[in-house]
Amino acid sequence: MYHAKVNCLKVSGEGTISVSPNQAKIKVGVMTEHESLQQAQQENTKIISDVINALINLGVPNENIQTVTYRIEPLYDYENGRQIFRGYRVTHQLQIKIEDVDLVGQIVDLAVSQGANTISNIQFTVSQPEFHYNEALRIALNDAYMKAYTLTTQLNVNLNPIPIKLDEYSQISSPPVPFTQTFMAQAEATPIQPGEIKISATVIAQYTYC
C-alpha cells in the first residue's frame, strides 16, 4: 500500500495588543538622617505614619500599602584619609497599589506633602493580564497558520491545519515611569500619563504537509 510522504515545516507567529492600564504601583519612601539613630527612626516613623494615614483617608485600602524596604545605614565623612562617623540614615519605602490610575498624580503629591522625599518609580499594570494575553495568543496562532498556509499554497502541497508541535512565549511591556519632579506643593495634581501596555505572544508552530 502506498503512503503519501509527510513533511514538516516550522513557522513563527506573533500577536501584540495594546491595552489601557487600570492599576498602578508606586514606590514612595522617606529618608531621614540624624546623629542619633533613635531620633532618625522617630522622625522617619512619624512621616511614614502621616503618609499612610493620608493615603487611607483618601480611600487607599490598608492592604494596598506595603513596606518593601526598611534600611538603617551608618554615615561617614572622610577627611585627610580618616573616616569620621557623622550619624545614621533610615530609609523606609512603601509600595502603594492603586486601583484608579487617574489618582496616581494626586497620590504622589499627597505623599510628598506629608513628607515623603523619594519616589522611585511608577509601574502601570492591568488587573487581568491573562485575558489580554489569550487574545494576543489567538492572533499569534492565526499568524503562524497563515504563514504555513501561504507557504504550502505556493508549493502546491496540502497543509494539515493542526500543528503537531506548538511552543509559546509571552511578554508584557510596561516600563516603570521614573519620577524626577522637584518635590514642592502644587495647585493641581502632578500629571502622570499611563500610556498603554503592550502584551505580546509568540508561537513556534510545526505543521505537516504532503
pLDDT tens profile 64-107: 999 999 999 999 998 888 999 999 999 999 999 999 998 999 99
Strands 23-34 and 118-125: antiparallel
195, pLDDT greater than 50: yes
Compare 85 and 127 and report the one with higher pLDDT. Answer: 85
Q: Are 164 and 207 in contact (CB under 8 A)?
A: yes
Helix, strand, coil percentages for the chain (3-state, nearest 5): 30, 40, 25
What's the pLDDT at 186? 44
What's the pLDDT at 188? 54
Compare 109 and 170 and report the one with higher pLDDT. Answer: 109
% of the chain at pLDDT higher than 90? 67
Residue 161 CA to residue 89 CA, distance in Å, equals: 64
Structurally, at CATH architecture level, domain 23-125 sits in: 2-Layer Sandwich (3.30)
Q: What is the mean pLDDT of residues 175-203?
A: 64
Domain ranges (residues) in the chain: 1-22+128-210, 23-125
| Mean confidence (pLDDT) of the chain | 88
- State the cell numbers at 37: 539613630
Q: Are 11 and 148 in contact (CB under 8 A)?
A: yes
- Which of 55-59, 117-121, 128-132 has the largest mean confidence? 55-59
Task: Give the class (CATH, top level) of 1-22+128-210.
Answer: alpha beta
Find the helix packing angle between 37-58 and 104-113, rounded to 10°.
140
Q: What is the mean pLDDT of residues 105-117?
A: 94
Residue 52, CA distances (Å) to 43, 55, 85, 91, 195 in order: 14, 5, 32, 15, 27
